Amino acid sequence: MSNIRKCAAMDLSLVRPYVKTVLFFVLIMPAAFAAINRSLLMGVSFCACFMAMTSGYTFSISEKNAMERLYGILPVRRTEMVFGRYLFVALTGLAAIAFSLIVHPLLLTLLGEHISAADIVDAAAFGLLMFSIYTVFQLPGYFKYGSVKGRLFMYIPTGGILIILLIVHKFLKITGSPDLSEDVSALPLPASFILLLISIALSAVIYAVSIAVSVKIVNRKEM
C-alpha cells in the first residue's frame, strides 16, 4: 500500500506544473456552465467529464520525459504502479466533484435557484458515474497505446453517452414526459441516496474490471 501511495504521489508531482490549467478547465469552466444553464446536474457532469479528460496528463508527461526506464528500475511492482495511477486519477476526480458539489450550489443559490439536498445527491451520483465511465475506458487505452493513440479511447464513452442521451430524449419526447433533468430533480431524498449507492456500486465494479485489464496490459509490456 505504501508503494501505491508513492506512485500516486509521483503522478501528482508530474502534473503539478499544469495545476493552473487544470483548475481553469476543470473548476472554473464547469461553474460557468452551471451558472449559464442554471443546472447543478449539468455543472457537476461537465466537471466530471473535464476532469476525466486530464487523466492522460501523467501518461503524456511520462512519455515526453522518457520515464518508462525510471519506472522500470524503481523498487515497485508493475501492479503497484497501475494501482497508484488509478488511485491518483480517482482522488483527483473525487476532489473535483466534491468542489463542484460545494461551490456550484452556492453559486446557483446566489443566482436565485433553489437547490435541495436531493439535487446535490443526484448530482453526486451522476458526476461519479460519468467520471468513472470516462476513465475506465481511457486508462487501459493509455497503458496499451500511449498518450497519443490512447486518446482515441476518450471518445468511446463520449459517443456512447451521447447516443444514450439522444435515445432517452427521443423517448421522452414521444411519450410526452418531462425533461430528464426535471425527472431526476423530482426524486425524493431517499430515492436519491439509492441512486448514489447504485452509482458507487457500478463505479466500483467497472473500476475493478478496468484495473484488471490495465494490470494485464502492463505485465505483458516490456519496461
The 10s digit of each residue's pLDDT in 186-221 is 557 787 888 889 989 999 999 999 999 999 998 887
Q: Indicate whether 23 pLDDT > 80.
A: no
Rounded mean pLDDT of 112-123?
A: 86
pLDDT band for 67, please (50, 70, 90 cuts).
low
Q: Indicate whether 178 pLDDT > 70.
A: no
Residue owning grid cell 463505479: 203
Rounded mean pLDDT of 81-108?
A: 91
Most confident of 27-31, 67-71, 186-190: 27-31
**Backbone φ and ψ of 66, nearest 5°:** 50, 50
Q: How far apart are CA 97 and CA 47, in angstroms?
A: 7
Pick the residue with more confidence: 208 or 134? 208
Q: pTM surpassing 0.75?
A: yes
Task: Please return the burial class of 77, using the count of CB atoms within 10 Å of its CB with bins 0-12, 13-18 and 19+.
Answer: middle
Q: Indicate whether 50 pLDDT > 70.
A: yes
Dmax (CA) of the chain: 61
- The DSSP call for residue 178 is P
Pick the residue with more confidence: 198 or 60? 198
Q: What percent of the chain has pLDDT over 90?
A: 22
Pick the residue with more confidence: 25 or 134? 134
Rounded mean pLDDT of 7-18?
A: 80
Question: What pLDDT was estimated at residue 90?
Answer: 93
Q: How far apart are CA 15 and CA 54, in angstroms?
A: 10
Q: Indicate whether 115 pLDDT > 80.
A: yes
Q: Indicate whether 7 pLDDT > 90.
A: no
With CA atoms as reference, report the closest residue to 187 among 100, 120, 98. Answer: 120
Q: How far apart are CA 220 and CA 79, in angstroms?
A: 11
Q: How far apart are CA 99 and CA 47, in angstroms?
A: 9
